[in-house]
Structures are given as structure tokens and as C-alpha cells.
Amino acid sequence: MGGLTLGCSLQSRHGMKPLLPFSTPRSFFPIQSRRKLSLSSGCRNSASFVMGTIALNSSNRFVPGSTSASLQSMTEELVDVKSKESPVSGDSIRRRFLDFYASRGHKILPSSSLAPEDPTVLLTIAGMLQFKPIFLGKVPRQVPRATTAQKCIRTNDVENVGRTARHHTFFEMLGNFSFGDYFKLEAIKWPWELSTVEFKLPVERLWISVYEEDDEAFGIWHNVVGVPKDRIKRMGEEDNFWSSGVTGPCGPCSEIYYDFTPEEGHSDADLGDDTRFIEFYNLVFMQYNRKEDGSLEPLKQKNIDTGLGLERMARILQKVSNNFETDLIYPIIEKASELANVSYHVADEDTKMKLKIIGDHIRAIVYLISDGVIPSNIGRGYVVRRLIRRAVRTGRLLGIKGDGRGNLEEVFLSAIAEKVIELSTHIDSDVKAGASRILEELRREELRFVHTLEKGEKLLEEMLADALLNAKEKGTVPCLSGEDTFLLYDTYGFPVEITKEVAEERGVGVDMAGLDIEMECQRRQSQAARNAVKLAVGNDAELTENVPDTEFLGYDTLSARAKVEALLVNCNPVVNVSEGSEVEVLLNRTPFYAKSGILLVETENQQKAVVEVKDVQKSLGNIFVHKGTIMEGVVEVGKEVQATVDPNLRQRAKVHHTATHLLHSALKRVIGQETSQAGSMVAFDRLRFDFNFHRPLMDNELDEIEALINKWVGDATLLQTKVMPLNEAKEAGAIAMFGEKYGEEVRVVEVPGVSMELCGGTHVTNTSEIRGFKIISEQGIASGVRRIEAVAGEAFIEYINARDNHMKQLCSTLKVKTEEVPSRVDSLLEELRKARNEIPALRARAAVFKASSLVSKAFEVGMSKKVNVIVEFMDDTEAESLKNAAQ
């Protein structure tokens, strides 16, 4: 039996500085300082610790009046001698949580992107979002149990960040999930075992809340686990009935709280008192689906969704006063303190709050940009822009004017972001891989804001001074008008939240009603962005309960028999649709890929119905929605159809799809690996590719990109497609698209030596099928996002032919050869310029001539007869020329 001596402070792996902002007390660890722990290499997986039955060992039942001492000898065996991490570091907590549930049959799955596919939420707010289609029964479960460490973003309480001990924008949610497997009994006993045995929390410090009508959960906590009734609180729907959004999976929940001051006793204890209690584990018993009308329907399978806040558990185990002082965040705050030339240890509360805001926001900013969210004025982009600008202003209030490296630009966030990237290893490996892109995007956005910030700050101060003066003169409450607030936002880039904060500091209100009127257009744009990922499938959750995933046959065939699973007209399910109607058709199998342009023909019972399909899209899960018009006959649910793809259109789409992959690769080679795809569109007549880049491309860069792609086309390389595990594909270098959701098995499309991407689409067999590639435009479509439109294959030939015809017509008109067109056009433009310059002089001379001819028509007016007047209507002479002639 080996031994390990633990020191009484948590040390950084990067030098010997303590990571935590306090002198290291003897009570830092939940064990006696300098005590040697006996270790057993196989203990954590032994049968004595993996519970094979439902019953709990009596040693970890709640015994009134007991302490955790009775558990000490057993829990000491759980410390892994081989781990180089501190037993209470944030990375250790994450690892031990995942290992705990893995040993109980859970599959460890990666975190999903912060930019989810789910149209009901803007950003990933909980660990269950990636499993929502499974909970709804839209897609079959791949495993019965799963566990994750999910990156999350919540901005609804952004004003509280730094002011409280627990509010964050970015945080990690550790979760265990059951998809129709275990339910309340295991979902309660395992979190208790994790908390009291694995993490050794004293049982007398733990309190429980349950939904007021959930007698089953109350009974398990009291009768099975042994928690006294006076430590189980029944709470209402607002506190203990959980949902992921307006619609979707939901159910009663139970929570575990940690009591920081148990000496205050049980009498009238309020779990909402966050100075005494912190909720660190939430157990959701997912039994229902909330529909759009607010009604609840039972789910076909009962599921479990739990969430343990990593930052909160780290605070408890590391025995610090708030989440920001844990080793997950404090190194970031320490860097901000260095740039601000202040010491967090001795700073006043206002300074600490500002440092916490920066430490929190920069984590969110880095992970959002890493997941492909680029600063903009709408949707997700506005969230990251708002956080960047809030962090910048907070830094300026602390006196931070640069990155501490002597750079003249007054930007500093990228220097702090480097610390976030350094700490990201165990959270998301893609962050370090995309470090240069993240830092460049952040520096560019901060610099853009700094350039307008000073003007905006000066104008805001003037507005606030005027508001205070007007209020004083009129004896009213000072208020900044909605028009002024909008001006700051629209012209000077001031987020409304910052304007409100500054105004509040000066004792001035903001006319939000007036602002709402001014912001109406922006809100419509934002809503459009939120809905951009929605398909036209109305009542999606309700409909897809009974619609299976569509089997895609397009890799092998252009025609197949299929069954009509559902029909939609104006987003509403119908049984049949007749000629002339716009319709959306859902089939059980299809050869059609997105926007393939097809004809859908029904032939059963010698009846014929033809649907011209103009677009094909995928709904949540893997349901193909065929949108089109019924040209003939009637289509009915349940009938068989012959689905046939137009082979010419399919080939044109395949060519543009493969050309898109080549374009992506060429961009990375010419302008840098940091660029990434922001969107794309593959059509029959062209392709469109959006990418993240901070400036327009130069002509020589566009020429180089075209030349590279046409070389690859001429190389006549055979494409390779493989299906492999996701982790193997990433290790092999395959590019995964931001925001895309992948299963454990993925399809990899490779042009050997050129491109390798995860892709489920159809492609050419050989690059020579592309025939030629031509960029037809390059332009900016949003801040930091560029767009290239191009043609390939048949569309390339058509484009070249059309351009050639235009040139022939031009040569005929100008009566010159092709190579002489530029010089002839220049000559004509010069002649035109000279002619235009001569026009004013000619007009002046004409006006003088006309004026002289009118002198004879002058007549005297007035008694003195000394005023001569000429009256004449002249509609062919400019006023300026006539005035000059009169002079």
C-alpha cells in the first residue's frame, strides 16, 4: 500500500505560484493537513465500491447527528495515486465525475457546440440540449446511458455576474443522462454516492429540494437514502419543475444543496439564501413534453437529465468564498489584475467585481468564437459582441490601457484570452487548435470598439449632463431618451446594457419604451436570426413524434420507391393534397439530397400525381422535408411513390459541392489556416461560400485561389469516402463544421492531398468532373464575414460562354478586336470626359447669346422710369448659365 502526502495549498502547474487567492489554511482540504492517505490502485473499480444492487450501504446513509468521519476510512481509498492533478482541482472534479458514471455503464460523450441546432434556444444553455431529439423520440438512442461535461452559456443574468458568488455567463455542466433506462431511484442514489463518497461532502451539510407534488422522490430521499424530513424541502413549479425552453422535454426536479453555515440550524432555513446555501446538483425526472399551447403530454420513455455545476463544486471542495476564486477562473482574474496593476487580495469590492466580470466574460468570448460565433449586431453574434464590449469598458474603468507588452494599440483582452486558451486543454481541444483565429478575431473586434468608444463615452456624458440639468429645471426624474440611447447604440456601437449601467451610475434612468420603438427594426432582424435554423415544419415536436428518420439512398441511386409519412400545407399536417397546392412531403426513404431538384411521381392504382420538388431540407434529427408544388393529381399520406432525382441537376449539385470543399482548402492555403467556414450554399447554377476573415481579398489572392482549384481539377484525383469514428476522423485531420452535430460514426470525404472534411453530401467521383472553376464575386456580408460566389462544371462552361458572347457583342459595337477593347473603352471615356467638360462653357455662351437677343424686349417700370425689366420664359437654359449671362 503506497502513500501520498498532500500539501496545504493548491499549486499551479505553470510555476510555483499558488493558484488560489488566499493564504493556505489547514482546512483547505476536507482531510487533515499533511495526513498520509493509503492508496490502492484497483480500489475505485472494485466491487465494494461499484454498487451492483439498488440498496445503499448503511455507511453512506444520512444519520442525524453524524459527521463525515465515519466515511473517512472508506473515501480515502478513492484518491488515485497515479493522478498528477490535485484531488480537488477543477480538472480533477470533471474527470472523477465522468469516471464515476462511466463505471456505472454510462458512455462518456463530448460536449456539443455552444451554437446549437435547436431553434428554440439561441445558445447551449444546458447539457441536455444535444440529447433533446432523443428525449422527444425523434431519433433512436445510440446508448442507454451517457455522461458529459457540457460547455454552457447563459446571459439572462449578465448584470449579476461579479456581483454574486455564483452567476456566470460561461460555465461547465457535468451531467449524467438516461434514455428510457433507469429512473428516479438510481438518479437519486448515484448523485448522493458521488457527493458523499467520491467527493466526501459531509452529509450533515447537504439539503434536498423536491417538487411539491413529487411524493416518489421525497420517499426515496427519506426512506432509501436516509435524509431527515426536516432537510427535504417541498418547492413549487417555479423552483422545481424544469424545462429547456418554451417547448420541449420537461419534468419535476430535485436538487442537492450545500450548507456553508450549518450552525444556523434547521428552523426556517431558506434554500434560496445564497449566502448560506448553494445548489450544486440538479436532477430532472423528464417525464413530459411541453407543447406550444403549454399543455403537457407524457413522453413515451421516461428519461433522466442531471446537471452538476463544475464551478460550484470546485468552490465547495476548494473552500473558497465564491466560484471566481477557484482554479478554473482565478488564473484568468490574476492576469487581469496584473494588467490593471492591482492586487485582487487587497482590492475593494468594486474592483473585485470588475475583475470578476472580465474573468467571466473572457471565458465566454473565447469559447463562443471557438465554436464559430462571430461578433455581429444580430442573434448569437450580438451576444459575443455585447460581452466583448462590456469587458472592454470594465477594463477601461480599471485603468487597463494595453496588453502589458508595449503595444501602442489600447487592446488587452487577447492577452487575457491567452490564459483562457492555456486552461482549455481538458475542456475543448479545438480551442488551442484555433487559438490564432480566436485571438485575431478578438483583437480586431476590441480595436473596432475602442476606436468608437471614446467618442461615444464623451457623447454619453454630455447626454447625461443634459438629462440631469433638464430634470433639475423641471423638477422631474432624470431620464435619457430612447432616441439618444438608440443613437449611441446605432452610431457609436454602445450596447444598450452599457448605456443603462453608466446612466445608473449617474442616477439617470433610460426611456426603454422609446428605445423599443427605435429598435423595432433591429429586433426583427434578431428574431430572423433566431429563426434562421427553423424549417417550415410547423408543430415540429408534435409531428416528428410519429415520423421516423429518413433513410438516405442518394449515394447509390437516383430513384427509389418510398412511403409518404406526412404532408404539410402552410406548416400544418394534412392527410392529402391536391393539384396546385404548395406542399412539404416527408418520406421514409429518399434519394434526394438538400436542394437536389426532383420530381416525385405517384403511380399506385394507375393514378398519377406529380410533385415538382424545388427544395429539400433536413429537420431536427434526420428527417428530409421535400418542398414543392403538386403539378397533377392528389398525394395522400401512407401511399407509395416513386421518387426520382433529375440526374443532370444532381450532377451539377455534386460538382458544386466538391468544388466547395476545394475552395475551403484553397482559402486556408492562400489567406491562412485561421479562416473557417461560416456558411455555404450549393445550387445548380452556382455555389456560395461564407468564411470568417477580416478584410476583402486582393485580386492576386483570388487569382491564386482559382489557379489552385483548377490545378486540382486538372490533377483528376479520385475522391475517397470513409465511415469512421468521430475521434479518429478528427485525429486524421478531417475538418468539422462549426455548429454541426455529429454522431459517433461520421462520413469523411477526402480529396487526397488536398481536402478532408466530415460531410454527408453527394460528391463527384473524380475532380476532373468539375471541369473548371471561376470566382464571380467576393464581398463582405457582415462584420468579419466574407462571401465568395463561384461556378463550376456545366455552370462554369455556361458562364464562360455567356461572357464570351457579351464580349463578342461589345467588339461588334466598338468595331475592334477583343484585345483592343480596353484601350478603345479608355479612349471613349476620355472623349466623354472632355465633352462633358465642354458642356458648361457651351451653355454659358448660348445663354449670353439668348440674353443679348432679349435686350430689345426690355421695358421700363415705375414712376421714375429708371428700372428696365425683361420677362421671358426660357425652358431650355440652365438657371446658373442664365444668371451668369445676366451679370
Q: State how far the alpha carbon of 111 is from the alpha carbons of 185, 187, 430, 455, 813, in Å.
A: 26, 21, 11, 41, 63
Q: Maximum Cα–Cα distance for the chain, whole Å? A: 130
Distance CA 509, CA 477 (A): 8
**SS3 sequence of 582-611:** EEEEEECEECCCCCCCEEEEECHHHCCEEE
Phi and psi at residue 286, in whole multiples of 5°? -80, 105
Residues listed for the chain: 887
The answer to whether 642 touches 559, Cβ cutoff 8 Å, is yes
763 is in an annotated binding site: yes
Q: Give the sign of the dihedral formed by CA 324, CA 87, CA 106, CA 185.
A: negative
152 is in an annotated binding site: no
Please report how the helices 379-397 and 520-531 are oriented relative to each other, as an axis angle in degrees rounded to 10.
120
Distance CA 366, CA 416 (A): 10
| Residue reference for cell 462571430 | 374
Distance CA 412, CA 776 (A): 39
Q: In sequence order, which ranges of 136-284 are alpha helices (DSSP H)?
A: 184-193, 215-219, 237-240
Distance CA 417, CA 446 (A): 12
Distance CA 105, CA 103 (A): 6
The answer to whether 722 touches 746, Cβ cutoff 8 Å, is no
| Residue reference for cell 454522431 | 743
Distance CA 702, CA 714 (A): 18
Q: In Å, how far from its chain's centre is CA 287?
A: 28
Q: Are strands 634-636 and 720-725 parallel, antiparallel or unpaired?
A: unpaired
Distance CA 402, CA 561 (A): 65
Q: In sequence order, which ranges of 181-276 are alpha helices (DSSP H)?
A: 184-193, 215-219, 237-240
Distance CA 366, CA 323 (A): 19
Distance CA 554, CA 125 (A): 35
664 is in an annotated binding site: no
Of 373, 336, 342, the C-alpha closest to 356 is 336
345 is in an annotated binding site: no
Q: State how far the alpha carbon of 711 is from the alpha carbons of 315, 660, 716, 767, in Å.
A: 57, 15, 9, 10
Residue 126 DSSP class: S
Of 598, 588, 589, the C-alpha closest to 627 is 598
Q: List binding-site positions for Zn(2+).
A: 657, 661, 759, 763
Q: Residues forming the annotated binding site?
A: 657, 661, 759, 763
